[in-house]
Amino acid sequence: MNNENTPSPYKDLPGNSIQDLFTIGYVYLLLLGIASNAIYYGLQGINIMSYTSILDVLLSPVKDLTESLVFPALIFISAFFGYYYLKWGKEMDAKRVARGRKPNKHLQVPLQRLWLSFTAVMIFSTYIGYGFGGGIAIKKRIENQAFSLNHQVTFVNGQQTKVYLIGVNSLYIFYVRKGSKYITVCPISGNVRSLEKIKKREVKS
């Protein structure tokens, strides 16, 4: 039997497109994590790439989203209104073209693609601002000793220390001890038994 002319059932499946989207998403998350973490920790004088893994970098944007409701809400609201703003812009541009004016070349793109590009840039900018703003705030608190001890570290030898935690990943914890202006970078494996968040009413105790 000659099957040369038999159409493939997979011909129209968007497998390559899905694969491309996963690749783009992977690279985007990687760049997002590297940029925001490099700025946040870099302002503290720490080269975070020496103390992290690829998985930590990929998960850090998701981790940031879960730390506060304000951050994801800001992204959602901006993306929502951004869509309708771009839609309005395309409608206004179409009316200008109908009146014989030159079209805006930046709006001659399908709305969905235009919105995705806008959202990607907006999210990236938000994370950069989040890393920069958070890094500056942490740096000033440490310099001015204007921080509260917010976590208790229990080491494998049983010693317990209350610290001001500024960051944690799967490999290291980053903290400042009371009265210190220096950040301690401590490996978790073989050193830390547990990390407990101190309740607000217990912070000053």
User: What span, in angstroms and rounded, lies between the C-alpha atoms of 178 and 162?
Assistant: 8
Q: What is the dihedral of CA 77, 82, 85, 90, to 10 degrees?
A: -150
Specify the pLDDT at position 110: 84
Specify the pLDDT at position 112: 86
Specify the pLDDT at position 205: 41
Specify the pLDDT at position 166: 95
Specify the pLDDT at position 24: 86
User: Which domains, from first to last, does the chain contain?
Assistant: 15-143 (no CATH), 151-202 (2.30.30)
Specify the pLDDT at position 16: 52
The stretches in the chain having pLDDT less than 50 are 1-4, 6-15, 203-205
Q: Which DSSP symbol is given to 154?
A: E
Considering only CA atoms, which of 93, 182, 177, 191 is closest in space to residue 139?
Answer: 182
Specify the pLDDT at position 201: 59
Q: What is the DSSP string of 42-80?
A: HTTT--GGGS--HHHHHHHHHHHHHH-SHHHHHHHHHHH
Specify the pLDDT at position 93: 81
Residue with tokens 């921080």: 147
This model's pTM is above 0.85: no
